[in-house]
Chain A
């Protein structure tokens, strides 16, 4: 029982799911769902279809090379069973997973950083230039920070006296 990778979108195919197509040259194509299968039949190139992993890796949206990928390799030679080894492996899988996902999210964050910086600069500029729409120059002269002006509310005397019996 193995988890396979979908040929089109590179997502995991669990046993019992998807379709497997064997071509005349004996190459096996596995698909996770009919969406990928139909796209394949339409002869679409996964490297050009935006939502696939192949595209994302090719265009640098996702992490491509990492040492965590080296841990998961299909080994053709079976190892003799060893309980300690098995335990260690199971624990290691979890840790490796975590590290890999951390690295992937960092990669994406880095990628989006420049955009973020630029947007912040633009926001600041917009704020400085447009503050006159929400704050009168007089108020700005008095309080030179770029915040909204404080609105003074007149509270009448009668009301405050009326509330006091209620507070008990």
Chain B
């Protein structure tokens, strides 16, 4: 059916686009390359092809346009009128006519130019003919440009027209603007029509669908109609008039009782009478809307009269149709779309009326007779007068009655819930109806998880038996284990043996480490031989310790070692090894007399050691001078604090490095002394030589050949150590005399 293809009309391009499309297509789809050297027939053919191709395309496109647009004569009069109302039939026809002419013109042009091309003698001539042809075709199209634009607009609008089927069951809603037609529509269908307080909110027809008795009804909402003479009506009103005129539908004429639409009942009644001619042969229902604002009974007398008049008119239509004196209820109805009071009743009445009318009509038509002949409903005739009611067994009846009683008496869980506070407060006890061996167990809570196991996995009726077996087995197994263990215990080491083993392992590790060190440094670094013991490791004390840890008595060995060393060991002389480290400060501790004290000051060596300036091979120094120099230079920046005398007389000197003069010399001496093992009296002599001393009764000393001023770097050769036995005993001056 044509009306459903309004949405399927192809887009109509405007003039310029049309031309562009066709020409570009020609360019793409036809061969483009041509040279003047080609044969003339080839050239002609080339250009003729182009002209023909363009003409064909134009023809095609224009034909589709002409065919797709509906012809007003061939569609349903409702649509024809609607289109006429909207677009003006004449303009529409004209536009389409123009398109048609254009098409013909283009065909003619093409024909002419093809004929001319047949006699074209050069490339240039053929080409210019083709250009001319195409040009003319395009001009034709340009001329119909406005029509194309108009048709495009129509197409767009047509696509948006509501899809109304003129032949199916339809309900039409009409009346003044703002009476409540769209709200009614919204109530009974799923359509979402705009409802606003101003008039002419609805500007075109709207379709909705509703169901009644398993049948689908179209409900058409129309724009409001004003009471005007026919000629003065605008397009919007004409839409609704058209609908009224052509659609075979039930009509609901809406009446606003309260007058809130802005028009009085008189005006509405006037409108009614003016269009009542359109209501011929249509089931008419007068609907009084907005009864929530003004009930029907409350209106004035005149209005009442008008309404009754309308009703009688409506009645006429009823009587005119079915021939049945319809009850008056079906004609005049009241409702309110706001409170939804009576809406359904109205809809039902309208649907019913329409249905009846259509059925009547169908019955009268010939088709029905054909169908009816094929139906036959068979009713069995009663054989005799005996009654035969349906047979229900007694038990069922009893059960039914009992169930009814039980339903009332039994207390349900829901009642219980409601008694105890409702859904959120009370939670039903699910364990109430458990069937257990003892009723006390109903509320028991069994843990599901115990110590990382699922309890349910262990539950077993004969778990006790199996457990007993298991424990027996375990007992046996443990006995065996003990027997085994007992055998094994003999082999362990005792704690003392373990100690010894640990010691052995330590010693072994130590040996291995030392060996590794020696191995790695043997070739790269020269090692100081043991006789030059610079760190003073190899003492008798140490040897004694080591021997005693091995379990031997060291005393013999120590004595032998000491006797073989250079000096005699004197009484009460503190061993050298402790002189540097020991901080003995006992003043007047063991000494009684000065003499003894003095005696003790002179030391003898119990252990041989090379003097500080003697060059030890392996240290990398050339001679003793260099060595003494190196000592002083390296130790120079350090603060010396304590200079210990024998037996605790500590002479505190802070010797800082200062440049030049006597002080440097003094410093050098002191520095040398710190490291050396030189006798104290020698030190004193040196000091006297250098520093101006008060006369304290010291014997004159031999003058050494030592310069008084020394620069660092110019050290004198260190004097050799004098023979100790020839050193005179000197009493030292008291400390305070020294600067």
Contact = CB atoms under 8 A, between A and B. Distances in A.
Nearest to A12: B452
B458 A99 contact: no
Contacts of A95: 467, 471
A71 B496 contact: no
B564 to A, nearest CB: 22
A87 B453 CA distance: 15
Interface of A: 1-3, 12, 14, 67-68, 71-75, 78-83, 85-86, 88-90, 92-97, 99, 102-103, 106, 113, 117, 120-121, 123-124, 126-127, 130-131, 133-136, 138-140, 143, 145-152
B474 A102 contact: yes
B551 interface: yes
Contacts of A90: 447, 450, 455
Contacts of B473: 67
A125 B69 CA distance: 116
Interface stretch (B196-204, B436-444, B712-720): B436-444
B496 to A, nearest CB: 4
A120 B455 CA distance: 45
User: Counting chain A CB atoms within 10 Å of each CB, which of B437, B481, B504, B548 scores highest?
Assistant: B504
B428 to A, nearest CB: 19
A105 B459 CA distance: 26
Contact of B451 (A68, A97, A138): A97
Interface string B676-705: 000000000000000000000000000000
B474 A82 contact: no
B549 A151 contact: yes
A135 B501 CA distance: 11
Interface of B: 434-438, 440-441, 444, 446-461, 463-464, 466-467, 470-471, 473-474, 477-478, 481, 488, 491-493, 496-497, 499-501, 503-505, 507-508, 547-553
Nearest to B445: A86
A54 B438 CA distance: 45
24 contacts: A1-B449, A3-B449, A3-B452, A72-B453, A72-B454, A78-B456, A82-B437, A83-B438, A83-B441, A83-B444, A85-B459, A89-B458, A92-B467, A95-B471, A106-B481, A124-B491, A126-B505, A133-B503, A133-B504, A133-B507, A134-B500, A143-B551, A151-B548, A152-B553
- Counting from the closest, the 4 A-B pairs by CB-CB distance are A149-B551, A139-B551, A130-B504, A147-B496
A75 B444 CA distance: 21
Given A3-B454, A85-B461, 18 more contacts: A71-B470, A81-B434, A81-B444, A83-B440, A89-B460, A90-B447, A96-B458, A120-B491, A120-B493, A123-B501, A126-B501, A130-B501, A130-B508, A131-B504, A148-B500, A151-B548, A151-B549, A152-B548
A92 B464 contact: yes
A127 B504 contact: yes
Nearest to B481: A106
B497 to A, nearest CB: 5
A139 B457 contact: no
B453 A138 contact: no
A150 B448 CA distance: 64
Contacts of B507: 130, 133-134
